[in-house]
Amino acid sequence: MLIIPAIDLKDGQCVRLYQGDYRQLTVYDADPVAVARRWQAAGARWLHVVDLDGAAAGAPQNLAAIKAIASATAIPVEVGGGVRDVATLGEVLALGVARVVLGTAAVEDPVLVGTACCKWGERVVVGIDARDGLVATRGWRETTSVPALTLALQMIELGVRRFIYTDIARDGTLTQPNYAEVAKLVQSVPVPVIASGGVASLEHLRRLAALGVEGAIIGKAIYTGDIALATAIAALQTVEALGDAH
């Protein structure tokens, strides 16, 4: 299982929100490139970057920082936040990132998702951000009546090949992931699922790995020190090696 560090950008800085609330924000570093290099040095094989300003505004706002991160690291970067048309998607990919995450667009403009999947294939990922099982959009500020699984199944028909599932109520809380919802999605879709929200310990990561997720995104826990990224990566690689041996 991949362990993917998150870098959330607001006003060009590396921050974390509590349950997606822009009013409950903590700045962890003014230099997101330094943070990206730190996570790469710790052994990360992917980076997950979110343009929080973009998610709220409806168009990317931290393109310079995203380009700097992609240029300064040798590992692939996936980016989400405010990408809601094909032109913008192409613009973000042109910055040197490997994948772009569509969230609000998946709900509001499914034709865009189908077009993007035809054009870019696996470089397009759909982020399913759920609150109480229902999909939230527009920087998590609006909750729809669409169940997470319903959206996932619709997206697969449009060609989506990977999902990132985030439980908003767990995000930034250091409680634990929503294992039941993650398991339901993993068991219901024939494509990889990356889990996000609530990871705070190695045990949480092991339980997610046992559910069959492709990866787990870690945010607050690696900034507070609750999880040492290099230790977690090594521990999960050991588990995988033991599993392969049997």
Which entry of 53, 129, 167, 171 is annotated as an active-site residue? Answer: 129
129 is catalytic: yes
Which entry of 8, 51, 167, 171 is annotated as an active-site residue? Answer: 8
Query: Alpha carbon of 186 to those of 118, 148, 182, 195: distances in Å?
Result: 24, 12, 6, 10
Tokens 């667009």 belong to which residue? 105
Taking alpha carbons only, the member of 169, 151, 135, 162 closest to residue 2 is 162
The answer to whether 40 and 47 are in contact (CB under 8 A) is yes
51 is catalytic: no
Secondary structure element (H or E) that encloses residue 67, with its range: helix 63-72
Q: List helix spans (H) across 121-157.
A: 148-157
As annotated, the active-site residues are: 8, 129
